């Protein structure tokens, strides 16, 4: 086996998804503790003096205690090299999460034990289901009052349409939380206050049949556990690795990320149940990293101004096959030319380290002089294949944007274009005007706040946002059609996107159908391809 294949086999690349406040960032930090990357976890919320979570790096994230961009974190643990894609939990940044899931081989879904499946969890899970990637569930906050465990499983199965298989089972919750029962080994891991921020908490393991267990777990709790285990063994789904791999069975774990209980056990199970980097679909069929020797990657995210001193742009790439070497030449398929991949780096949120090599499964950031777009393929293969495009999700909120100081037009255009190229916002122009009229579309309204904040702080430009009533957008698929000739409704607006493609904006959903009726042969789409 070549060294390159050995390295690729070590890789595990997964995304962590959750509803806001379910504890995703805390869980990510505990993983980093076990990987020896950080010595003490930072709390996401709290006083101004509190440490901020390692994976939250943009100033607005620190101020509000929310993740608005996806962070990429790599660490070694045991024999594995782990790439974690930490995603925004807030629904207004779901588009960034969709793209990030395209770069992951599996997903960890964090659920608050007291709240169960929440709206954002449903939305994100659908993207995992669409891609058939394995989903692992971590039911968090068991040290607080939690809902009935069977009810939680039932809700996951009903709401998300996926059977579950509990790998461990909680003994009580809140003040009565005593630990978890490991089903395969029939041992009980006892919960003690594990000193929150450190990995030094001791986990005591004791056999389920050990008479000494009475010292730690009350008789009543043991009786309840016995009943629940019998129920589980009789009615629950059996663990089946093939179904997990196909995204048709979700292994479930219980624990407390804040108290650092059940996290290491979950990590060990997770690594044994996940696979090395998976084959990816291209326009020339599946590209298997275990067979394809040539380097290939696709861009799933672009981030400007990660380093305030340099005002730079970084294109994040998921390596799909082969070995990357710093400064290597490769072919940019969409650009149609050879390029040098310079200043390669891996991230620890906003901290970076320059790297010499990376392998299939890794995520790297490459300096982008402005040539890359989301979805682009880079390869050294002579076949020039291209990976499947990443869908552009239709914005749901629109606003006209003007800068306050007309003398700062240049900075305004540069800033708004760069932020649009990252995919956080989409910008449109009216068909009959120049760049004077800029319309911004976003998936969630919080993106408007981020736009105002970033233009002010990164480009020194103040803007005025005038909200528009449009709620529905459609790309015009007919390439041979003159948009001027489309007969629409009174609430319809004709615009074009950054690439000059024609789109229609509507206030009412029924106007879409009416416009289709009035223009024979017109094809409208809810998705644009990057």
Give me the helices (H) in 344-425, please.
Answer: 409-421
Report pLDDT for 529: 55
CB-CB contact of 143 with 259 (8 Å):
yes
Contacts of 329 (CB under 8 A, 6+ apart): 338, 339, 340, 341, 380
* 6 lies in some domain: no
Q: SS3 of 126, please?
A: helix
The strand pair at 11-18 and 106-112 is best described as parallel
Grade residue 314 by pLDDT with cuts at 50, 70 and 90.
Answer: confident
Report the candidate in 451, 449, 447 with the shortest Cα–Cα distance to residue 459: 451
Contacts of 185 (CB under 8 A, 6+ apart): none
Average pLDDT on 236-240 reads 84
Report pLDDT for 240: 93
| 67 and 212 fall within a common domain | yes
Structure token digits, residue 211: 């008479």
Q: SS3 of 4, please?
A: helix
Domain carrying residue 296: 280-379
* 137 lies in some domain: yes
Measured between alpha carbons, how far is 456 from 449 in angstroms, rounded to an integer? 11
Q: Mean pLDDT score of the chain, rounded to an integer?
A: 81
- The CATH number for 242's domain is 3.40.50.300
CB-CB contact of 167 with 251 (8 Å):
yes
| 237 and 285 fall within a common domain | no
- Inter-CA distances, 146 with 4, 114, 155, 202, Å: 46, 4, 14, 23
Measured between alpha carbons, how far is 380 from 338 in angstroms, rounded to an integer? 9
pLDDT tens digits, residue range 474-526?
A: 988 888 888 888 998 899 999 888 778 888 999 998 999 999 999 989 998 87
Lowest-confidence segment of 40-54, 224-238, 257-271, 330-344 by average pLDDT: 40-54
Buried b (16+ CB within 10 A) or exposed e, 265-282: bbbebbeebbebbbebeb
Report the candidate in 34, 129, 85 with the shortest Cα–Cα distance to residue 361: 85
Report pLDDT for 137: 95
* 7 lies in some domain: no
| 372 and 412 fall within a common domain | no
Can you list the positions of beta strands (E) in 106-194? 106-112, 135-140, 164-166, 168-171, 179-182, 187-190
Can you list the positions of beta strands (E) in 307-371? 313-321, 323-325, 329-332, 337-340, 345-348, 351-354, 357-359, 363-367
Residue 138 main-chain phi, psi, to 5 deg: -115, 110
Measured between alpha carbons, how far is 465 from 439 in angstroms, rounded to an integer? 9
Distance in Å from the first CA to the final CA of the chain = 37
| 362 and 416 fall within a common domain | no
H/E stretch holding 367: strand 363-367
- The CATH number for 311's domain is 2.40.30.10
CB-CB contact of 156 with 117 (8 Å):
yes
Grade residue 422 by pLDDT with cuts at 50, 70 and 90.
Answer: confident
| 110 and 48 fall within a common domain | yes
Report pLDDT for 348: 47
Last residue of a domain, one of 273, 290, 324: 273
CB-CB contact of 419 with 304 (8 Å):
yes
Grade residue 399 by pLDDT with cuts at 50, 70 and 90.
Answer: very high
| 147 and 57 fall within a common domain | yes
CB-CB contact of 108 with 85 (8 Å):
no
* 303 lies in some domain: yes
Report the candidate in 256, 144, 259 with the shortest Cα–Cα distance to residue 195: 259
CB-CB contact of 339 with 299 (8 Å):
no
* 342 lies in some domain: yes
- Inter-CA distances, 130 with 183, 189, 237, 262, 484, Å: 30, 36, 22, 29, 36
Report pLDDT for 291: 92
Grade residue 44 by pLDDT with cuts at 50, 70 and 90.
Answer: very low
pLDDT tens digits, residue range 426-473?
A: 888 887 655 567 899 887 777 788 888 888 888 899 999 999 999 888
Last residue of a domain, one of 258, 273, 288: 273
Buried b (16+ CB within 10 A) or exposed e, 133-146: bbbbbbbbbbbbeb
* 492 lies in some domain: yes
HEC sequence for 408-427 = HHHHHHHHHHHHHHCCCCEE
Structure token digits, residue 522: 């017109």
- The CATH number for 439's domain is 3.30.70.3280
- Inter-CA distances, 384 with 135, 147, 169, 428, Å: 32, 52, 49, 32
H/E stretch holding 342: none
Last residue of a domain, one of 345, 379, 413: 379
| 406 and 467 fall within a common domain | yes
* 3 lies in some domain: no
- Inter-CA distances, 254 with 191, 225, 231, 396, Å: 12, 14, 17, 36
Contacts of 92 (CB under 8 A, 6+ apart): 442, 443, 444, 445, 446, 447
Which single residue is written with the structure tokens 């024979």?
A: 520
| 419 and 337 fall within a common domain | no
| 333 and 424 fall within a common domain | no
pLDDT tens digits, residue range 257-266?
A: 888 888 888 9
Lowest-confidence segment of 248-257, 326-335, 438-447 by average pLDDT: 438-447
pLDDT tens digits, residue range 93-135?
A: 456 677 788 889 999 999 999 998 877 677 777 778 777 889 9
DSSP of 279-318, one letter per residue?
A: PEEEBTEEE-TTT--S-EEEEEEEEE-SSTTTT-EEEEEE
Report pLDDT for 195: 53
pLDDT tens digits, residue range 271-313?
A: 999 989 989 999 999 999 999 999 999 998 877 665 555 556 7
* 420 lies in some domain: yes
Grade residue 71 by pLDDT with cuts at 50, 70 and 90.
Answer: low
C-beta contacts of 150-153 below 8 A and 24+ residues apart: 150/228, 150/231, 151/116, 152/111, 152/113, 152/116, 153/236, 153/252
| 257 and 285 fall within a common domain | no
Buried b (16+ CB within 10 A) or exposed e, 344-374: bbbbbbeeeeebeebbbbbbbbbbbeeebbb
| 428 and 518 fall within a common domain | yes
Domain count, the chain: 3
| 185 and 211 fall within a common domain | yes
Which single residue is written with the structure tokens 């994100």?
A: 124
Grade residue 29 by pLDDT with cuts at 50, 70 and 90.
Answer: confident
Structure token digits, residue 104: 């992951």
């Amino acid at each position: 086996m070549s060294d390159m294949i050995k390295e690729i086999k070590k890789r595990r690349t997964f995304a962590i998804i959750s509803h806001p406040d379910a504890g995703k960032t805390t869980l990510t930090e505990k993983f980093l503790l076990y990987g020896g990357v950080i010595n003490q976890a930072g709390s996401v919320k709290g006083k101004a003096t509190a440490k901020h979570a390692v994976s939250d790096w943009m100033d607005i994230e620190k101020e509000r205690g929310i993740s608005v961009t996806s962070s990429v974190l790599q660490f070694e643990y045991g024999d594995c090299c782990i790439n974690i894609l930490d995603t925004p939990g807030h629904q207004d940044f779901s588009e960034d999460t969709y793209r990030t899931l395209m770069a992951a081989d599996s997903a960890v879904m964090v659920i608050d034990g007291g709240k169960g499946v929440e709206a954002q969890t449903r939305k994100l899970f659908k993207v995992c289901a669409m891609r058939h990637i394995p989903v692992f569930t971590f039911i968090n906050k068991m040290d607080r009052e939690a809902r009935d465990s069977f009810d939680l499983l039932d809700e996951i199965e009903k709401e998300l349409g996926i059977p579950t298989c509990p790998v461990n089972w909680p003994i009580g919750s809140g003040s009565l939380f005593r630990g978890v029962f490991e089903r395969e080994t029939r041992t009980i891991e006892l919960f003690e206050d594990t000193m929150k921020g450190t990995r030094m908490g001791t986990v005591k393991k004791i056999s389920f049949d050990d008479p000494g267990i009475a010292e730690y777990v009350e008789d009543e709790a043991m009786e309840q556990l016995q009943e629940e285990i019998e129920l589980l063994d009789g009615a629950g789904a059996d663990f089946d690795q093939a179904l997990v791999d196909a995204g048709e069975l979700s292994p479930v774990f219980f624990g407390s990320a804040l108290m650092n209980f059940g996290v290491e056990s979950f990590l060990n199970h997770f690594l044994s149940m996940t696979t090395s980097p998976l084959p990816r679909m291209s326009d020339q069929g599946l590209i298997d990293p275990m067979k394809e020797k040539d380097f290939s990657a696709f861009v799933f995210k672009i981030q400007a101004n990660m380093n305030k001193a340099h005002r730079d742009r970084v294109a994040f790439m998921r390596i799909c096959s082969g070995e990357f070497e710093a400064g290597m030449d490769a072919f940019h398929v969409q650009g149609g030319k050879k390029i040098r991949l310079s200043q390669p780096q891996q991230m620890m949120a906003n901290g970076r380290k320059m790297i010499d090599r990376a392998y299939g499964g890794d995520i790297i950031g490459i300096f982008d002089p402005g040539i890359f777009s989301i979805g682009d393929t880079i390869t050294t293969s002579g076949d020039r294949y291209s990976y499947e495009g990443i869908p552009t999700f239709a914005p749901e909120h629109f606003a006209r944007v003007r800068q306050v100081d007309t003398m700062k037009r240049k900075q305004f255009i540069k800033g708004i274009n760069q932020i649009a190229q990252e995919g956080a916002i989409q910008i449109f122009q009216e068909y009959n005007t120049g760049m004077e009229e800029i319309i911004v579309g976003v998936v969630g309204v919080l993106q408007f706040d981020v736009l105002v904040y970033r233009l002010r702080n990164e480009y020194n430009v103040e803007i005025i946002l005038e909200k528009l009533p449009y709620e529905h957008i459609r790309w015009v698929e007919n390439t041979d059609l003159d948009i001027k000739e489309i007969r629409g409704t009174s609430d319809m607006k004709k615009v074009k996107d950054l690439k000059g493609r024609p789109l229609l904006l509507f206030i009412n959903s029924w106007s879409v159908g009416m416009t289709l009726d009035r223009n024979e042969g017109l094809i409208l789409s809810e998705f644009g391809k990057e």
